[in-house]
């Protein structure tokens, strides 16, 4: 029996969180949502999802700290960083990649763009499993 693909969405913006939840549920994913990094890490410890989508700017524990904590505890975790903020002198996407993000996407984005990234990562996983 094939398990449903799963995704954890960590975003403090309700509209973003639920738009992404609807998109991925429609595509057949088991979707979990968290409104901050601390809650996201607790979810991931209980339910290790196939992919994590995390915003970089979060209350309590920012997305970079969240990414680092998850990757430290779960090195195989596949994490995509999202952000609508411009970091000025700091390229937060470059930092996110350095900390282990598999990809990054700037908000606002088209649903097709995030779907392509997630599908690419899932397809890569499937081909690795088949090898």
Q: If you write DSSP's letter for every residue of 15-42 in order, what string do you get?
A: HHHHHHHHHHHHTT-EEEEESSHHHHHH
Average pLDDT over every residue of 119-127: 86
Q: Which helix (H) or strand (E) holds 117?
A: helix 111-130
Domains of the chain and any CATH numbers: 6-123 (3.40.50.2300)
Q: How many CA atoms within 13 Å lie on the side-chain side of 125?
A: 15
Residue in this structure with the two tokens 């997630």, named with its chain if needed: 118
3-class secondary-structure state, position 54: strand
**Residue-wise pLDDT tens digits, 23-68:** 999 999 999 999 999 999 999 999 999 999 999 999 888 999 999 9
Q: What is each CA distance from 47 to 5, 6, 108, in whole angstroms?
A: 12, 9, 28
Least confident of 18-27, 73-82, 83-92: 83-92
What is this structure's pTM?
A: 0.92
pLDDT above 90 for 97: yes
């Amino acid at each position: 029996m094939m398990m449903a693909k799963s995704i954890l969405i960590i975003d403090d913006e309700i509209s973003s969180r639920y738009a992404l939840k609807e998109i991925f549920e429609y595509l057949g994913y088991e979707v979990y949502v968290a409104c901050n990094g601390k809650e996201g890490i607790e979810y991931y410890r209980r339910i290790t999802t196939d992919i994590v989508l995390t915003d970089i700017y979060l209350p309590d524990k920012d997305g970079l700290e969240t990414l680092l904590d998850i990757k430290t505890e779960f090195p195989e975790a596949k994490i995509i960083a999202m952000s609508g903020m411009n970091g000025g002198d700091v390229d937060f996407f470059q930092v996110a990649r350095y900390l282990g993000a598999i990809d990054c996407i700037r908000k606002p984005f088209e649903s097709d763009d995030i779907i392509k990234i997630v599908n690419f990562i899932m397809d890569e996983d499937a081909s690795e499993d088949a090898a």
